[in-house]
């Protein structure tokens, strides 16, 4: 895959990284690495099973035709930065000069110094292709294919971080995934990344949603024990759930000491 290391508001000529061949633009801050040549080979059998499409039906033929359409135009992308935790307080953390207000994130980053802010996307090409489908069923199929492209970018990014930085067990958190970390903190995250719209074509709306819609941003960090935001989310029947809800986890691990002390005793 091609990697380009970019930086916002810099001047001067790019230099080559001897180890990876990536282009590095000089910056007084740090560089954002862009991965924009990620291969997408959707698994038709997996998609058929996920969408509960019966083989041999016209729906199976429609799905196969959409996969054939998507493959040549798909350009999933990813970007990330290496960033460092500057300081912490009880309810938040400062990373790379940006303030993030989340008790859960703050506790998860206890003892952590280096983190990886990131954004991954299916790419604008698939987003526009998906939006161009007038038939509701075909648009749903295209939506799922686009999500698979985004997941491919996320998986490629994770493998890259393991290879390049020796990152072991790790977890991610994203603004808006929990009430504890509101979606409005997409803004400082995007500022920390630099310019995701220029780098990989992802922009924020006024309501802090991302376009293309099949995009994810967040912070990846090393952990001793795997954490999923789903463990703190009470939403039922979530199709994206990765772990069961743990009703005791917040109280045991994330609650402020002052809150615990103020609880009435029985």
Q: Into which CATH architecture does domain 3-259 fall?
A: 3-Layer(aba) Sandwich (3.40)
Q: Delimit the domains of the chain by residue range.
A: 3-259
Write b or e for each residue in 109-146: b if 16 or more Cβ atoms lie within 10 A of its Cβ, otherwise e: beeeeebbbbbbbbbbbbbebbeebeeeebeebbbbbb
Region 118-146 average pLDDT: 97
Q: For position 31, what pLDDT does the model report?
A: 87
Q: pLDDT digit string (tens) for 1-39? A: 555 555 333 223 333 333 333 433 333 356 899 999 999
What confidence tens digit (pLDDT) does each residue in 210-263 have?
A: 999 999 999 999 988 776 666 766 677 766 666 776 667 667 667 765 454 455
pLDDT at 23: 38
pLDDT digits (tens, 9 = 90+) for 135-175: 999 999 999 999 999 999 999 999 999 999 999 989 999 99
Strand 83-89 versus strand 114-121 pairing type: antiparallel
CB 108 within 8 A of CB 100: no
Predicted pLDDT of residue 233: 64
What is the per-residue DSSP string for 117-149?
Answer: EEEEE--HHHHHHHHT--SHHHHHHHHHHHHHH
Structure token digits, residue 170: 């790790």
Q: How far apart are CA 2 and CA 35, in angstroms?
A: 6
Say what the pLDDT of residue 136 is.
96
At residue 199, does pLDDT exceed 90? yes
pLDDT for the residue numbered 11? 28
Which range, 67-81, 95-109, 235-249, is most confident? 67-81
């Amino acid at each position: 895959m091609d990697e380009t290391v970019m930086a916002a508001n810099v001047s001067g000529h790019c230099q080559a990284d001897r180890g990876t061949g990536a282009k590095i633009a000089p910056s007084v801050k740090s560089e954002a690495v862009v991965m924009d040549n990620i291969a997408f080979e959707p698994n038709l059998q997996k998609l058929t099973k996920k969408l509960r499409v019966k083989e041999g039906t016209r729906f199976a033929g429609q799905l196969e035709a959409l996969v054939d359409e998507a493959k040549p135009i798909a350009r999933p992308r990813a970007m990330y930065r290496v960033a460092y935790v500057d300081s912490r307080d009880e309810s938040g953390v400062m990373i790379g000069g940006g303030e993030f207000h989340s008790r859960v994130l703050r506790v998860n980053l206890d003892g952590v110094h280096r983190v990886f802010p990131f954004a991954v996307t299916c790419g604008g090409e698939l987003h526009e292709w998906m939006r161009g489908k007038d038939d509701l069923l075909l648009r749903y199929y295209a939506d799922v294919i686009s999500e698979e492209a985004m997941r491919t970018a996320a998986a490629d990014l994770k493998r890259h971080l393991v290879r390049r930085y020796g990152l072991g067990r790790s977890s991610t958190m994203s603004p808006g995934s929990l009430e504890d970390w509101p979606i409005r903190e997409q803004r400082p995250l995007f500022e920390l990344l630099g310019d995701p719209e220029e780098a990989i074509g992802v922009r924020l709306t006024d309501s802090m949603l991302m376009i293309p819609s099949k995009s994810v941003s967040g912070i990846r960090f090393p952990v001793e024990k795997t954490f999923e935001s789903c463990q703190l989310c009470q939403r039922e029947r979530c199709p994206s759930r990765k772990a069961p809800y743990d009703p005791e986890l917040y109280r045991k691990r994330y609650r402020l000491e002052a809150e615990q002390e103020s609880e009435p005793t029985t």
